[in-house]
Amino acid sequence: MDSLYRDCRSLLGAALVTLICLGLPGCGGKAPEPINPDTAADQVGGLFDQAPPEVKTLADGAVQALANDNLPRAHMLLQTLAARNDLTPEQQQIVVGALIGVGQKLQESAATGDEKAQEFQRLHQSSK
C-alpha cells in the first residue's frame, strides 16, 4: 500500500511540475484548471483545426485516445503537446488542464485497482 501511495504522489507531483514548468509561461500567470477527461476531447479538438500538421496530428491522437478512454495514451500525447513551444496560450492552457485532469483520473483509477493505470504509473515512474 505504501508503494501505491508513493506512486500516486509521484504522478501528482509530475502533473504539478508540468503545470508549473509548461502551463504558467504560456497563459499569463494564470494556472490552468484540471479538465475532466470525459469533456477534454471536446475542448482539445476544435482548438487545433488550424494548427500545423504535426501539432494537429498529436491533438487528433489525444482526442481519439480520450474518446476511447485510453488515458495512458492520452496522457503521453498531451504531455508531448504540452512540451511544444509553438502552441497558442489558449491551446497551452487547455492541453495542460487536460493533462492534469488525465493524470488525476489515472491516479484515482490506480488507487482503486485498475491494472492498466497501475502499469502506466510504474512505467511513468521508471522513465524518470
Q: Please report the pLDDT score of residue 66 as a whole number.
A: 95
| 3-state secondary structure at position 1 | coil
| 3-state secondary structure at position 34 | coil
CB atoms within 10 A of CB 56: 13
Provide the domain count of the chain.
Answer: 1
Better-scored residue on pLDDT, 24 or 126 = 126
Better-scored residue on pLDDT, 77 or 9 = 77
pLDDT band at 16 (very low <50, low <70, confident <90, very high): very low
Q: Please report the pLDDT score of residue 21 as a whole number.
A: 47
**Over the stretch 70-118, which tens digit does the pLDDT of each residue have?**
999 999 999 999 999 999 999 999 999 999 999 999 999 999 998 888 8
- Tell me the Cα Rg of the chain: 14
Q: How far apart are CA 39 and CA 116, in angstroms?
A: 21
**What DSSP assignment string belongs to 67-110?**
HTT-HHHHHHHHHHHHT-S-S-HHHHHHHHHHHHHHHHHHHHHH
Q: Please report the pLDDT score of residue 64 as a whole number.
A: 96
Mean of pLDDT values over 19-33:
57
Q: Look up the domain containing 85 and give its range.
A: 2-126
pLDDT at 56 > cutoff 60 = yes
